[in-house]
Chain A
Amino acid sequence: MIGDISASSTAAPSAYAVEGHGLVKTFGSFRAVDGIDIQVPAGSIYGVLGPNGAGKTTLLRTLLGIVDPDEGHRTLLGEAQPLRMARAVGYLPEERGLYPSMKSFEAIAFMGALRGLPLHVGRERAKAMLEGHGMGAAIDKPIRQLSKGMAQTVQLFGTIVHEPRLIVLDEPFSGLDAINQEKLEALIRQQARNGVTILFSTHVIAHAERLCERIAIVAGGRIRFEGTPGDARDRLRSQVRLRTRADDGPWRAALPADTVREEDGWHFALPDEGIEPLLRALIDGQAGIENLSIERPGLHDAFVAIAGAAVAKQMVQQDAAEEPA
């Protein structure tokens, strides 16, 4: 009845630390995760990006085994029952939780003990981590006496104290000031250098852009894009900004159809055939080029375009579904 979980896996090593196929999770009639396929390469830093309410947290919770999917299957470090790999996984949930009366180092050691780390080892490591992070004075302090940022750091240390092979962080940067965000980024890079797989969710694109080797953009419970940040950026064409001395002339016919006139000049996407034919037409038409720049779109632009389009499409579909026949 009350059965067994084992700490070690007999599963064959996989190229992917986390895999999910056809995952569906519904709450009532709401499909929070709607048929997601995901593969997180072992040893990579992988970001799950999405607007608020996109289904990122539910996806992570499903992958970790906190909730079971209604459909589909997942493996964590090659194991179909995620809790069997609990000792090799660290998880920082979006809603931070610590026992307020527990001392900092005890809280870290307790979180390690939950995942199989002997308590005395956890205590030693916790003290070393806190001291190394300039929080030596907080070692013996109860959590309730710590600032929010310090408490979050304690929880983060609790997530990694048992030296996991996979770290899952749900919105890890939220609530941290710029300095602590920088420290967290450094810590993530450090863990990745040690071969640890990092899977984290965020709606702040800058972190993902700096850290991630691969990303998945989630919106409306579905993955709208999966690949490298470069691939995401490549989904958008580079933007051309052009300023000319002449306002009008035959050269204007050479501008692409999606050209927009703004205060600082003309804006349009880089044509598929490249800039050279357009440049030739502008020169021949004596447009008087004052400035011409080609800007590669950032991940933020790609995110807004991909997630925004997906959300807009979903809203149209919902409206259509709700319309009376």
Chain B
Amino acid sequence: MKELWRAAFVIARRDFTAVVLSRTFILFLLGPLLPILIGFAFGGLGDKISSTDLRPVVGLALTGQDDAAIQRAHDRLSQRMGEQSLPRLRRVPATPSPRVQLARTDSEVVAILSGSIAHPVLTGKAEDLDKLQGDISLLSTAAQAERTLRFITVERQEVSRSLGAQAQGRLIIGRIAQVVMFFLTILLAGMILSNLVEEKTNKIIEILAAAVPIDAIFLGKLMAMLAMSFVGIAFWGGTAFAIFEAIGGHATRLPTPAVGWPIFLMLAVLYFGMAYTLLGSLFLGIGAQAATVREVQTLNMPITMGQMLIFFFASYAVDHMGSPAEVAACIFPFSSPFAMIARAGQDATLWPHLVALLWQAAFVALIIRVGVLLFRRHVMQSGGRWWKNLFRPATG
């Protein structure tokens, strides 16, 4: 076993330095910043588009008092519910009739509100009325209420601790950890797919296979890519934390996970490592069967879809702690790290994490072994039926 790890370490060191000391690694580190910048740019633009152009405009053909009351109700409701939730309002002349105004080519409103607050009449096409009728009723009711009812203020009763809020906070922490872990895994593990192509196209595999067990090659490659991922995560995490601090964020205000922050972070690292090596070993095994980069590229899409399915399964489980689905997500090896980190956010019990980590590690070993045997069988054209050699020592 010692020799296997030694050989794996030699392979890992070569791969790690080859990746980390290359110029492209800088691009790799800066890569995740691009979506953020694009998100800011397009997000701002999108906000502008949705806030200025997309909300329907309703014309107000009301008397002066009713018009003012509707506008005030609109302002109050928009303040509480958000501007996007209500149509925009624009004053239009009382004459000619709404039908005539809407028929004009220069009409800029979707529908026209006439009549009075007590008996509002909304004129427009049926499908527009279907959308707007409820909003206008709400506005009219609020305007009418202003005249007949007083605004009720709520008395505040503060507590220092709320378990409901804590549960909500922990749920959010679990979900965020799950999402972050998933995106890091999908971003980083996919790179392993093409990891053996270099060795195969450059004929290096022959030298490696003659010198060390193929298990060591697989293991070394996984170790190298995991180490490279941790370098990336340390960089991105450090940058994110610096930005968080710079914009005035305080880590102490974040909700505390059930197991506490130190253990939660440690588990996050371990579960990311497991998620990465589970998927990575699978990708390595699949990618090793591919003869060319093109074949690897073709495999990318179905594999990404598979990852998405696993993520949806695990994220469904977050909201259903203790349910059969959540237990299944914790047991199924590929969703287990995602489900378990969410569990760490919500449940303080530690022993299931130890069991889960051992279970996941066993599967990593199993997947590597199957991948190696399939590689020997189909690529090296050696060895018999793969399942017959599954538990034989890795000596060639």
Contact B392 A3 (CB under 8 A): yes
Task: Write out the residue numbers on chain A whose beta carbons fall within 8 Å of the beta carbon of B18.
Answer: 99, 101-102
Interface assignment of B127: CB less than 8 Å from any CB of chain A:
no
Contact B365 A93 (CB under 8 A): no
Task: Write out the residue numbers on chain A whose beta carbons fall within 8 Å of the beta carbon of B10.
Answer: 110, 113-114, 119
Interface assignment of A111: CB less than 8 Å from any CB of chain B:
yes
Q: A68-B382, A98-B202, A110-B10 are in contact. Are A1 and B207 (CB under 8 A)?
A: no
Interface assignment of B164: CB less than 8 Å from any CB of chain A:
no
Interface assignment of A186: CB less than 8 Å from any CB of chain B:
no
Interface assignment of B393: CB less than 8 Å from any CB of chain A:
yes
Smallest distance from the beta carbon of B197 to chain A beta carbons, Å? 13
Contact A3 B393 (CB under 8 A): yes
Interface assignment of A83: CB less than 8 Å from any CB of chain B:
yes
Contact B14 A91 (CB under 8 A): no
Task: Write out the residue numbers on chain B whose beta carbons fall within 8 Å of the beta carbon of A61.
Answer: 210
Contact B213 A5 (CB under 8 A): yes
Interface assignment of A81: CB less than 8 Å from any CB of chain B:
yes
Bound Cα distance A114, B10 (Å): 6
A residues 87-102 in Cβ contact with B at 8 Å? 89, 91, 93, 95-102
Q: A91-B210, A115-B211 are in contact. Are A2 and B394 (CB under 8 A)?
A: yes
Task: Write out the residue numbers on chain A whose beta carbons fall within 8 Å of the beta carbon of B3.
Answer: 4-7
Bound Cα distance A255, B205 (Å): 59
Q: When each residue 13-55 of chain A gets 1 if its CB lies under 8 Å from chain B and 0 otherwise, what string results?
A: 0000000000000010000000000000000000000000000
Q: A5-B394, A83-B395, A99-B14 are in contact. Are A66 and B382 (CB under 8 A)?
A: yes
Number of A-B contacts (CB under 8 A): 114
Task: Write out the residue numbers on chain A whose beta carbons fall within 8 Å of the beta carbon of B210.
Answer: 61, 64-66, 86, 89, 91, 93
Question: Which of A66, A83, A98 is within 8 Å of B380, CB to CB?
Answer: A66
Q: A1-B390, A98-B202 are in contact. Are A110 and B14 (CB under 8 A)?
A: yes
Task: Write out the residue numbers on chain B whose beta carbons fall within 8 Å of the beta carbon of A1.
Answer: 365-366, 369, 390-391
Bound Cα distance A119, B14 (Å): 11
Bound Cα distance A35, B178 (Å): 57
Contact A2 B368 (CB under 8 A): yes
Q: A1-B390, A1-B391, A3-B4 are in contact. Are A65 and B396 (CB under 8 A)?
A: yes
B residues 315-371 in Cβ contact with A at 8 Å? 365-366, 368-369
Contact A95 B4 (CB under 8 A): no
Smallest distance from the beta carbon of A188 to chain B beta carbons, Å? 19
Smallest distance from the beta carbon of A94 to chain B beta carbons, Å? 8
Q: A83-B213, A86-B211, A93-B207 are in contact. Are A3 and B394 (CB under 8 A)?
A: yes
Interface assignment of A260: CB less than 8 Å from any CB of chain B:
no
- B391: nearest residue on chain A (CB-CB)? A1
Interface assignment of A67: CB less than 8 Å from any CB of chain B:
yes
Question: Which of A5, A67, A89, A99 is within 8 Å of B395, CB to CB?
Answer: A5
Q: A4-B3, A67-B382 are in contact. Are A114 and B395 (CB under 8 A)?
A: no
Q: Is the interface of B mostly helix, strand, loop or mixed?
A: helix
Contact A5 B207 (CB under 8 A): no
Bound Cα distance A28, B203 (Å): 22
Question: Which of A81, A101, A158 is within 8 Å of B396, CB to CB?
Answer: A81
Task: Write out the residue numbers on chain B whose beta carbons fall within 8 Å of the beta carbon of A102.
Answer: 14, 18
Task: Write out the residue numbers on chain B whose beta carbons fall within 8 Å of the beta carbon of A119.
Answer: 10, 13
Bound Cα distance A252, B305 (Å): 87
Smallest distance from the beta carbon of A29 to chain B beta carbons, Å? 13
Task: Write out the residue numbers on chain B whose beta carbons fall within 8 Å of the beta carbon of A78.
Answer: none
Q: How many residues on B have C-beta within 8 angstroms of the other chain's C-beta atoms? A: 44
Q: When each residue 293-305 of chain A gets 1 if its CB lies under 8 Å from chain B and 0 otherwise, what string results?
A: 0000000000000
Smallest distance from the beta carbon of B200 to chain A beta carbons, Å? 9
B residues 173-224 in Cβ contact with A at 8 Å? 198-199, 202-213, 215, 219
Interface assignment of A221: CB less than 8 Å from any CB of chain B:
no
Bound Cα distance A26, B10 (Å): 33
Task: Write out the residue numbers on chain A whose beta carbons fall within 8 Å of the beta carbon of B383.
Answer: 68
Smallest distance from the beta carbon of B247 to chain A beta carbons, Å? 40
Interface assignment of B153: CB less than 8 Å from any CB of chain A:
no
Bound Cα distance A239, B390 (Å): 59
Task: Write out the residue numbers on chain A whose beta carbons fall within 8 Å of the beta carbon of B381.
Answer: 27, 67
Bound Cα distance A100, B202 (Å): 8
Contact B396 A68 (CB under 8 A): yes
Contact A95 B206 (CB under 8 A): yes
- A26: nearest residue on chain B (CB-CB)? B381
Bound Cα distance A84, B18 (Å): 28
Contact B380 A114 (CB under 8 A): no
Interface assignment of B7: CB less than 8 Å from any CB of chain A:
yes
- A117: nearest residue on chain B (CB-CB)? B10
Bound Cα distance A95, B203 (Å): 6
Interface assignment of A82: CB less than 8 Å from any CB of chain B:
yes
Contact B203 A96 (CB under 8 A): yes
Bound Cα distance A98, B204 (Å): 6
Bound Cα distance A64, B391 (Å): 22
A residues 111-164 in Cβ contact with B at 8 Å? 111, 113-116, 119, 158
Interface assignment of B1: CB less than 8 Å from any CB of chain A:
yes
- B395: nearest residue on chain A (CB-CB)? A81
Bound Cα distance A59, B81 (Å): 79
Contact A114 B203 (CB under 8 A): no
Contact B393 A4 (CB under 8 A): yes
Task: Write out the residue numbers on chain A whose beta carbons fall within 8 Å of the beta carbon of B198.
Answer: 99
- A168: nearest residue on chain B (CB-CB)? B210
Interface assignment of B95: CB less than 8 Å from any CB of chain A:
no
Smallest distance from the beta carbon of B393 to chain A beta carbons, Å? 2
Interface assignment of B79: CB less than 8 Å from any CB of chain A:
no
Bound Cα distance A96, B199 (Å): 11
Task: Write out the residue numbers on chain B whose beta carbons fall within 8 Å of the beta carbon of A116.
Answer: 6
Q: When each residue 272-306 of chain B gets 1 if its CB lies under 8 Å from chain A and 0 otherwise, what string results?
A: 00000000000000000000000000000000000
Nearest 4 pairs of A and B residues by beta carbon:
A3-B393, A97-B203, A67-B382, A97-B204
A-B contacts, 20 listed (Cβ < 8 Å): A2-B365, A3-B394, A4-B4, A5-B213, A5-B393, A66-B382, A68-B396, A81-B395, A81-B396, A86-B211, A89-B210, A91-B207, A93-B206, A95-B203, A97-B206, A99-B198, A100-B202, A110-B14, A116-B6, A158-B207
Chain B interface residues toward A at CB < 8 A: 1-4, 6-7, 10-11, 13-14, 18, 22, 198-199, 202-213, 215, 219, 365-366, 368-369, 380-384, 390-396
For the complex with contacts A4-B4, A91-B210, A97-B204, 11 further pairs of A-B residues with Cβ separation under 8 Å are A2-B1, A5-B393, A64-B210, A66-B206, A83-B395, A93-B203, A97-B199, A97-B207, A99-B198, A101-B18, A114-B211
